[in-house]
């Protein structure tokens, strides 16, 4: 008996439009219905994939209670109409849930245990606010295992401003304005819409409707409008609702398989999973997590940031992105970074966001055959970072 590692490829990805939590698009929509919509759309878009060929469904959620609980990967697979023979499970790595679903299930493909998997995430922060129902062990604070600020993500962002004094509020606001501008342009150019699946929404007051585009973007955002916003996490601080991602609802799903299986089924392999890395950092500066995660991956692969032509980094907070860029000597407006904008504009439904990073990178690869490598990376609550290195299957040479 022998095991041979196989190449894992990203075939497709879809997501619901992201909504604002509270009274937003999905205020009266269940979280599990969002991920079911995504799974059904993945299958509809890939008719060459027999449903019984799906070997696993891995779905992430940060708050795994209520309609985000009950082993969501399994229940969503059943609700989506996949054969009862298709198993599923849940994942929790907070913001990096969908990234972890992809790496965990993808590792199973490489090992030979699976041929085809669906990996994704959902977060309904309106129905389940971050931290709902948790009971942190008192030792965490009493024994000073972490600074108390580590349990509030906005406070960790303020801590990161302290750690990187060159990242001013003005610089964070300028980055955020560009994110809004890039998302607006990407929508105008039709870049984002192909990844969206129209999603039924209901309201007791307004009746039924369709969510067709992201709700959070604020086109027309200016430096002047951001300058007047309050700093809720610290008096006279740097973090505002304008230079951070909001509280959002949404679901993402990706279709991964062995490269030879994609070829067998006649499906396009859009990018190849090369390697991935997760690492821990001090919880009170969790936003710096992408830096050591990426450095660890680069060291193993013998490459540098100069070898990476596209970077999709989650914009939980502007300061977190800017800390990454500053570490690697990348300009704040480098064209490689989030070409279509990011979570500050489009939203960050926690465990689902990694799926959006992957599908946008795959579409950018298709437009850039001159780019060989790209990364998806994000910071993670309680002090972690995660990075995946991808290879463009459309690469034709060049830098």
Q: Which residues of 298-325 are buried (b: 16+ CB within 10 A; e: fewer)?
A: beeeeeebeebbbbbbbbbbbbbbbbbb
Residues shown for the chain? 399
Of 351, 345, 340, 283, give the one whose Cα is nearest residue 136. Answer: 283
- CA dihedral (265, 376, 340, 399) in degrees, to 10, reads -80
For 220-228, which contacts have Cβ atoms below 8 Å and span 24 or more sequence positions?
Answer: 220/180, 221/176, 221/177, 221/180, 221/181, 222/177, 223/170, 223/173, 223/174, 223/177, 226/173, 226/176, 226/177, 227/173
With a CB cutoff of 8 Å and minimum separation 6, the contacts of 348 are 95, 245, 246, 248, 314, 315, 316
Of 61, 81, 83, 86, give the one whose Cα is nearest residue 71. Answer: 61
CB atoms within 10 A of CB 382: 18
Segment (H or E) for 243: none
Confirm if 162 and 239 have CB atoms less than 8 A apart: no
Cite the active site residues. 95, 348, 379
Largest CA distance in the chain: 66
Cα dist. 328→213, 241, 291 in Å?
A: 34, 26, 8
């Amino acid at each position: 008996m022998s095991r041979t590692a196989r190449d894992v490829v990203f075939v497709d990805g879809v997501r619901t439009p992201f909504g604002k939590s509270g009274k937003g698009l999905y205020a009266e929509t269940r979280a599990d219905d969002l991920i079911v919509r995504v799974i059904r759309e993945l299958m509809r878009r890939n008719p060459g994939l027999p449903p019984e060929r799906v070997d696993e469904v891995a779905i992430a959620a940060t708050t795994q209670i209520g309609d985000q609980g009950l082993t969501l990967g399994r229940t969503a697979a059943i609700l989506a109409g996949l054969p009862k023979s298709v198993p599923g499970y849940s994942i929790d790595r907070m913001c990096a849930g969908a990234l972890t679903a992809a790496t965990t299930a993808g590792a199973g493909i490489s090992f030979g245990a699976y041929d085809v998997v669906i990996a994704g995430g959902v977060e309904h922060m309106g129905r389940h606010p971050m931290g709902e129902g948790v009971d942190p062990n008192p030792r965490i604070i009493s024994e000073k295992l972490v600074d108390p600020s580590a349990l509030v993500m906005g406070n960790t962002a303020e801590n990161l401003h302290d750690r990187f004094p060159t990242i001013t509020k003005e610089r964070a606001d300028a980055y955020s304005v560009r994110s809004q501008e890039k998302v607006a342009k990407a929508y105008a150019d039709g870049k984002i819409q192909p990844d969206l699946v129209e999603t039924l929404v209901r309201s007791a007051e307004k009746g039924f409707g369709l969510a067709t585009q992201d709700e959070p973007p604020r086109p027309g955002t200016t430096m002047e409008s951001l300058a007047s916003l309050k700093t809720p996490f610290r008096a006279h601080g740097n973090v505002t609702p304008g230079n951070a991602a909001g509280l959002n609802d949404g679901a993402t799903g990706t279709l991964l398989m062995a490269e030879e299986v994609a070829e067998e089924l006649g499906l396009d392999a859009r990018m190849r999973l090369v390697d991935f890395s997760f690492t821990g950092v001090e919880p009170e500066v969790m936003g710096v997590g992408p830096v050591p995660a990426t450095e660890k991956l680069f060291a193993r692969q013998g490459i540098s940031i100069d070898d990476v032509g596209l970077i999709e980094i989650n914009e939980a907070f502007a300061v977190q992105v800017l800390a990454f860029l500053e570490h690697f000597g990348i300009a704040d407006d480098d064209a490689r970074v989030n070409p279509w904008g990011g979570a500050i504009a489009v939203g960050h439904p926690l465990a689902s966001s990694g799926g959006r990073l992957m599908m946008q990178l795959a579409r950018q690869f298709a437009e850039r055959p001159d780019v060989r490598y790209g990364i998806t990376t994000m910071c993670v609550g309680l002090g972690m970072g995660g990075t995946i290195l991808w290879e463009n299957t459309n690469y034709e040479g060049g830098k």
